[in-house]
């Protein structure tokens, strides 16, 4: 349930309400808005004591949260959330462009791709050091050496970095190097991993599972939020379908669908959704037009030699052209790609 405090509630009343929530065995999640504070009360709402919150000083209303996801719901937090990754804002009109190679392959490749994506206007650099590959014989990533390279190159080009974490045992290590943790489609319902990432204060990019519903995605976000990490960005990356001319089926309706139900930012990854560089720019434009808070794409200067996902990589000049179009589109819809440092 939600306790909506009166606009004139005093600090002492707010503190008292939080204490009462704890005393009765619930977990409080406080959201301080411009005009009023609301307290998300997580726990068994059917407890008879819950009724008494109506009598707590400073409390104006006690509302049930009807959605199964509570902290992720708009009922709990009516304004759009803004997530900071390093100095880059995502949400509230600021767009993220997350770009880079699928995997960190070497210092030289990472340096070259970063130089190109930075020049094109990307504000967050990506690259996988732990790769979830369909085949155990495919390149599995460079591990910690890859994380070090990613961090170094991110600093060189003044871009925060995002990279995938696949296992609870990697979380501490990845947090040492990354500004944002990526939870991949294959791990969207790895609940222990969600909880472990939720215990950190590093922002999380949560990708939709390939057979997950929008509700499943929001329930997974709830796991992270419930552990106290409020910096969650969702990512639509396509779902499995009968269509076999694209890698997945991009569910563009997920963007406004999520926005209607949740305050969390959502971005789109047309690279993994389509698997086709000829389709990525138009789907990126559609994402911004549909209200997404950013785009995530893979770029490589020599896809032929890429160690993973080469066939879907955009060439640097394709990335540059796409960004030109996206910037014009963003201006037309009253948003912009946030520049690192211009928070």
Contact positions vs ligand PEP (CB under 6 A): 102, 128, 132, 184-186, 207, 237, 272
CB of 313 to Mn ion, least distance (A): 9
- The binding track of 289-328 with respect to Mn ion, each residue x by CB under 5 A or -, is --------------------x-------------------
Q: Nearest Cα to 265, choosing from 331, 170, 338?
A: 338
| CB crowding 240-259: b at 16 or more within 10 Å, else e | eeeeeeebbebbbebbebbb
Q: Which residue has the tokens 């991949």?
A: 184
3-state class (DSSP) for residue 266: strand
CB 24 within 8 A of CB 33: no
DSSP state of 50: G
Question: Interface with Mn ion includes 251 (CB under 5 A)?
Answer: no
**Residue 185 binds which of ligand PEP, Mn ion, none (CB < 5-8 A, kind-dependent):** ligand PEP
Identify which of residues 16 and 133 has a Cβ nearer to Mn ion in the complex: 133
Question: Interface with Mn ion includes 102 (CB under 5 A)?
Answer: yes
Contacts of 12 (CB under 8 A, 6+ apart): none
Question: Interface with Mn ion includes 105 (CB under 5 A)?
Answer: no
Q: Nearest Cα to 57, choosing from 5, 19, 21?
A: 5
CB of 89 to ligand PEP, least distance (A): 22
CB of 237 to ligand PEP, least distance (A): 4
CB of 293 to ligand PEP, least distance (A): 17
**Residue 237 binds which of Mn ion, ligand PEP, none (CB < 5-8 A, kind-dependent):** ligand PEP
Identify which of residues 127 and 160 has a Cβ nearer to Mn ion in the complex: 127
CB 156 within 8 A of CB 191: no
CB of 64 to ligand PEP, least distance (A): 34
The count of other CB atoms within 10 Å of the CB of residue 310 is 15
> In the complex, which residue's CB is closest to ligand PEP?
184
Q: Which residue has the tokens 């179009």?
A: 325
Identify which of residues 2 and 314 has a Cβ nearer to ligand PEP in the complex: 314
């Amino acid at each position: 349930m939600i306790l909506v405090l009166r606009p004139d509630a005093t600090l002492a009343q707010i503190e008292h309400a939080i204490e009462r929530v704890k005393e009765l065995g619930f977990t409080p999640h406080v959201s301080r808005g411009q005009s009023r504070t609301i307290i998300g009360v997580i726990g068994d709402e059917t407890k008879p004591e819950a009724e008494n919150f109506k009598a707590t000083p400073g409390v104006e209303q006690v509302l049930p949260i009807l959605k199964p996801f509570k902290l992720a719901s708009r009922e709990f937090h009516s304004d759009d959330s803004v997530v900071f990754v390093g100095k880059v804002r995502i949400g509230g009109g600021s767009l993220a462009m997350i770009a880079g190679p699928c995997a960190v392959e070497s210092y030289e490749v990472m340096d070259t791709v970063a130089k190109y994506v930075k020049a094109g206007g990307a504000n967050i650099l990506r690259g996988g050091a732990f790769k979830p590959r369909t085949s155990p014989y495919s390149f599995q990533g460079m591990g910690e050496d890859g994380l070090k390279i990613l961090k170094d190159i991110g600093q060189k080009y003044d871009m925060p970095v995002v990279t995938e974490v696949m296992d609870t045992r990697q979380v501490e290590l990845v947090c040492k190097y990354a500004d944002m943790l990526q939870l991949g489609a294959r791990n969207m319902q790895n609940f222990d991993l969600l909880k472990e990432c939720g215990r950190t204060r590093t922002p999380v990019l949560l990708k939709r599972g390939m057979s997950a519903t929008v509700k499943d995605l929001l329930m997974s976000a709830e796991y992270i939020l419930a552990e106290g990490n409020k910096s969650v960005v969702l990512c639509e990356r396509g779902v499995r379908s009968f269509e076999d001319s694209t890698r997945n089926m991009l569910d563009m309706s997920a963007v406004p669908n999520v926005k209607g139900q949740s305050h969390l930012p959502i971005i789109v990854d047309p690279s993994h959704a389509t698997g086709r560089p000829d389709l990525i720019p138009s789907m990126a434009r559609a994402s911004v037009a549909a209200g997404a808070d950013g785009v995530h794409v893979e770029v490589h200067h020599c896809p032929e030699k890429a160690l993973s996902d080469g066939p879907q990589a955009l060439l640097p000049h394709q990335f540059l052209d796409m960004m030109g179009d996206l910037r014009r589109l963003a201006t037309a819809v009253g948003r912009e790609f946030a520049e690192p440092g211009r928070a």
